[in-house]
């Protein structure tokens, strides 16, 4: 088997073995602590531009199937594992992880000390790196490019170009406009199974067009990149807020809503990527275990208390995990109630969104 390497921006070199596609690829190196859910991680568009290191030591045990993808393809720049399972075993398995990485042209690396890499990223913060297979060594120019790499035009790179309508399961009770900043399929599934007809809208759709379509509520999806680069989208969100329609935002959708009320976002040192992040609902004095994938966070004290308030906080580091608007049927969360992967403790938030729509229709909001 060929050798493969990861060179970090600080000069640290890891030597391991090739996995998946052979090549050379630049990315922001991040780590994910989930024990399972690698197919969902690979297909989550929020990882666009990132090379993901899995901290769980054996990846690929149950293979890849055609149903669990969170989008049509893989978006990661590279994939790092301690050990990739060569012989998956599961009744739903349709191909091996190795075959999937090859098909999706994802350069992989296995056999390195992923704990050491994770410790470096925890101490120094997420760092750029180049992952390459023997025979595809980066030249000086590529190394320089890697050092100054920034994930740019992220939403533009992953969003749909055409509107897509997903029918409600059973009787149609609601019509939802879902802005696609890099949506995970399970947001669509969670809404459809609750009787929503979901229209997935390209992320750059104008507020006027969304409002003219007469949706019962607006959902803002997750997505990749630095939230602050989406200046145009934030302007459209300001108009959606002013309309008074019920809105529910997840992850990037949450960050963009915060920017739309003139709060600020900041880059975290190493982010939250995993499936066991404890989040406290301050209103209910109750803690939920949540699925997460983000590298930016809303800065709590930049939120104008006359407009909104922090309702959820992360118990590991105290960062903002959710915001509720004052007097408006709008709430947003930094974590992933749609999970995939992760624990389903917070899927009730989709019901809360639909309750807000009922209240809004009934004139209560």
Ligand X SMILES: NC(=O)CC[C@H](N)C(=O)O
Where is the binding site for L-glutamine, in residues?
46, 223, 225, 252, 255, 293, 295-296
Looking at 230, 293, 314, 332, which residue binds ligand X (CB under 6 A)?
Answer: 293
Nearer to ligand X, 294 or 311 (CB): 294
CB of 28 to ligand X, least distance (A): 10
Stretches 170-178, 223-231, 282-290, 314-322: which one binds ligand X (CB under 6 A)?
Answer: 223-231
Residue 85 a catalytic site member: no
Residues shown for the chain: 365
Q: 251 is written with which tokens?
A: 């992850």
CA distance 327 to 340: 31
Closest CA to 78 of 13, 125, 20, 14: 20
CB 28 within 8 A of CB 51: yes
Stretch that binds ligand X, among 33-41, 89-97, 109-117, 290-298 (CB under 6 A): 290-298
Q: Which is nearer to ligand X, 25 or 334 (CB)?
A: 334
Q: Is 225 in the site for ligand X (CB under 6 A)?
A: yes
CB-nearer residue toward ligand X: 194 or 336: 336
Residue reference for tokens 């969100």: 237
Closer CB to ligand X, 21 or 79, in the complex? 79
Which of 24, 53, 85, 251 is labelled catalytic?
251
Distance CA 229, CA 231 (A): 6
Sequence-distant (≥ 6) Cβ neighbours of residue 29 within 8 angstroms:
6, 8, 50, 51, 53, 78, 80, 117, 121, 126, 127, 128, 129
Strand ranges inside the chain, DSSP E: 3-8, 13-20, 24-32, 50-54, 58-59, 78-81, 83-84, 107-110, 127-133, 164-166, 174-180, 196-202, 217-220, 247-250, 265-281, 286-298, 308-314, 320-325, 330-333
Burial class (CB in 10 A: 0-12, 13-18, 19+), 13: exposed
CB of 87 to ligand X, least distance (A): 32
Q: Which of residues 60-99 bind ligand X (CB under 6 A)?
A: none
Instruction: Kindly indicate which of the ranges 120-128, 193-201, 287-295, 349-357 contains the residues binding ligand X, using the contact rule CB under 6 A.
Output: 287-295
Count, residues near ligand X per rule CB under 6 A: 12
Q: Please report how close the Cβ of residue 91 comes to ligand X at its closest, in angstroms.
A: 30
Nearest CB to ligand X, comparing residues 43 and 293? 293
* Site for ligand X contains 252 (CB under 6 A): yes
Tokens 């999806």 locate to 221
> CA 118, CA 114: separation in Å to the nearest integer?
6
**Minimum CB distance to ligand X, residue 221 (Å):** 7
Nearer to ligand X, 154 or 240 (CB): 154
Of 218, 222, 267, 259, nearest in space to 238 by CA: 259
Using CB positions, name the residue nearest to ligand X. Answer: 251
Residue 222 binding ligand X, by CB under 6 A: yes
- Do the Cβ atoms of 169 and 193 come closer than 8 Å? yes
Angle between helix 231-243 and helix 252-260 axes, rounded to 10 deg: 80
Residue from 229, 179, 222, 221 nearest 204 by CA:
179
Output the furthest CA–CA distance in the chain (Å, rounded).
66
Which residues 4-63 are close enough to bind ligand X by CB under 6 A? 46
We find the least distance from the C-beta atom of residue 155 to ligand X, in angstroms, to be: 9
Please tell me whether residue 296 binds ligand X under the rule CB under 6 A.
Answer: yes
Closer by beta carbon to ligand X, 284 or else 317 = 317
Out of 28, 236, 321, 338, pick the active-site residue.
338
Rule CB under 6 A: choose which of 27, 34, 88, 295 binds ligand X.
295
Residue 223 within binding range of ligand X, rule CB under 6 A: yes
Cα torsion 248, 254, 259, 262: sign: positive
- Residue 13 CB, shortest distance to ligand X, in Å, is 27
Site residues (vs ligand X, CB under 6 A): 46, 222-225, 227, 251-252, 293-296
**Catalytic residue positions?**
251, 336, 338
């Amino acid at each position: 088997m060929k050798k493969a390497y990861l060179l970090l921006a600080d000069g640290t070199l890891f030597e391991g073995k090739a996995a998946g596609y052979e090549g050379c690829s630049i990315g922001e190196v991040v780590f994910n602590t989930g024990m399972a859910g690698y197919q969902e991680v690979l297909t989550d568009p929020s990882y666009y531009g990132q090379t993901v290191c899995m901290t769980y030591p054996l990846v690929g045990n149950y293979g890849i199937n055609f149903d669990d993808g969170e989008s049509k393809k893989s978006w990661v720049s590279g994939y790092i594992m301690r050990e990739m399972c060569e012989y998956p075993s599961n009744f739903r398995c349709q191909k091996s992880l190795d075959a999937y990485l090859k098909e999706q042209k994802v350069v992989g690396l296995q056999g390195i000390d992923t704990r050491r890499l994770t410790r470096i990223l925890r101490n120094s913060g997420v760092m750029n790196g180049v992952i390459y297979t023997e025979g595809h060594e980066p030249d000086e120019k590529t190394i320089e490019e890697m050092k100054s790499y920034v994930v740019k035009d992220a939403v533009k790179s992953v969003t749909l170009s055409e509107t897509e309508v997903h029918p409600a399961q059973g009787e149609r009770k609601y019509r939802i406009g879902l802005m696609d900043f890099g949506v995970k399929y399970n947001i669509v599934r969670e809404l459809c199974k609750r009787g929503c007809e979901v229209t997935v809208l390209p992320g750059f759709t104008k507020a006027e067009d969304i409002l003219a379509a007469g949706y019962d509520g607006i959902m803002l999806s997750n997505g990749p990149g630095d939230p602050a680069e989406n200046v145009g989208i934030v302007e459209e969100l300001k108009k959606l807020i002013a309309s008074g329609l019920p809105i529910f935002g997840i992850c990037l959708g949450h960050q963009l809503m915060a920017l739309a009320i003139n709060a600020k976002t900041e880059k975290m040192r190493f982010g939250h990527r995993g499936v066991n992040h404890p989040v406290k609902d301050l209103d209910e004095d109750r803690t939920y275990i949540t699925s997460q994938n983000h590298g930016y966070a809303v800065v709590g004290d930049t939120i104008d208390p006359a407009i909104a308030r922090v309702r959820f906080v992360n118990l590991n580091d105290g960062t903002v995990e959710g915001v509720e608007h004052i007097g408006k049927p709008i709430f947003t969360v930094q974590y992933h109630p749609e999970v995939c992967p992760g624990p389903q403790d917070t899927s009730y938030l989709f019901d809360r969104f639909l309750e807000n729509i009922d209240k809004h229709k009934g004139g209560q909001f």
